[in-house]
Amino acid sequence: MLTKLKAFVKDHAQDIVLAMMVVLISLLSFAAGYLTAQYQQEEIIQIESP
């Protein structure tokens, strides 16, 4: 079974690396957007008298 896994990884190495890169870029983009949103969070404007 381990030899089959090694053969599969060897045959599809470029596809596996591409998929990992897509996932990592997606996670980094999400984290950057989340941090930007947290940084830009402002105090809520409240009207106290009409």
Those residues whose C-beta lies under 8 Å from the C-beta of residue 21, and which sit 6 or more positions away, are: none
> What is the DSSP code (8-state) at residue 42?
-
Q: Which of 27, 20, 24 is nearest to 12 (CA)?
A: 20
Q: What is the mean pLDDT of residues 30-36?
A: 93
pLDDT tier, 46 (very low <50, low <70, confident <90, very high otherwise):
confident
* Residue 11: predicted pLDDT: 96
pLDDT at 50 over 80: no
* Residue 39: predicted pLDDT: 80
Contact (CB, 8 A) for 27 and 34: no
pLDDT at 24 over 90: yes
